[in-house]
């Protein structure tokens, strides 16, 4: 795959939103974030979290270059923003909603006329800890995997009692893969016969979360009680 447009996610988006895909001038975006120490010393208790917007309408030799990667904001602090990243992203999300629903008038240099340009955020790019902050799904504990969710097969280590997800990937292998039967080389005395968890559609995921309480942007007070089912059916 030389460009994201060759991927299934891009093609699925085109089929789902044909009016958006019909105009090649509509912009497809990605959001990237990660933390780093600005002083080059990992022991320094200070971090910066840049929020970068990438434009994927460009060819592969351009969209990854600095002139076409837009620094939207930098979140400074003594530590990572955690759940407070919602507060920082609030204005960006509002602008993305406007670009998606109604669009903005933009000048087309080639045709020398204005047109209504829309934009869509296709995905986010981050490591696993940053994924937890962006998605709201905690990547700690038993249900750390955002794909397996409550179907995960994590277990506690014998010494230390920490949650481990070793060998959980075997259910994603083909049913006739030899690794599924090798109980002595991987998780002791486990033969994997199950298929991977079913990938939920957007409508199914929305049905799961629509009954949750109102969202509190930022880190909730310490006295806030966990939502019912936390660490059992959701994370």
DSSP 89-101: HHHHHHHHHHHHH
Sign of CA dihedral 161, 164, 167, 171: positive
Interstrand relation of 155-156 and 27-33 (parallel, antiparallel or unpaired): unpaired
Q: Out of 18-32, 45-59, 95-109, 207-221, which region has the weakest mean confidence (pLDDT)?
A: 207-221
45 vs 49: CA distance, rounded Å: 14
Whole-model pTM: value is 0.77
Fill in the DSSP letter of residue 83.
Answer: G
Q: What is the pLDDT of residues 53-105, one digit of tens each?
A: 999 998 888 888 888 899 999 988 888 888 888 888 989 999 999 999 999 99
């Amino acid at each position: 795959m030389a460009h994201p447009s060759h991927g299934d996610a891009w093609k699925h988006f085109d089929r789902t939103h044909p009016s958006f895909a019909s105009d090649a001038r509509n912009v497809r975006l990605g959001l990237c974030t990660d933390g780093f120490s600005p002083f080059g010393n990992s022991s320094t208790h200070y971090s910066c979290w840049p929020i970068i917007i990438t434009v994927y309408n460009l060819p592969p030799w351009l969209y990854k270059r600095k002139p076409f990667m837009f620094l939207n904001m930098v979140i400074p602090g003594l530590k990572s923003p955690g759940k407070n990243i919602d507060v920082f992203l609030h204005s960006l999300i509002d602008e993305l909603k406007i670009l998606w629903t109604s669009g903005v008038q933009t000048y087309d240099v080639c045709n020398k006329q204005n047109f209504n340009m829309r934009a869509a955020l296709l995905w986010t790019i981050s490591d696993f800890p940053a994924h937890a902050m962006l998605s709201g799904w905690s990547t700690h504990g038993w249900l750390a995997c955002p794909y397996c969710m409550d179907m995960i097969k994590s277990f506690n280590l014998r010494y230390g009692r920490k949650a481990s997800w070793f060998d959980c990937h075997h259910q994603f292998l083909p049913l006739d893969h030899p690794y599924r039967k090798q109980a002595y080389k991987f998780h002791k005395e486990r033969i994997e016969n199950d298929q991977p968890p079913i990938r939920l559609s957007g409508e199914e995921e929305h049905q799961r979360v629509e009954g949750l309480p109102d969202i509190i942007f930022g880190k909730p007070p310490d006295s806030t009680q966990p939502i019912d089912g936390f660490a059992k059916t959701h994370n």
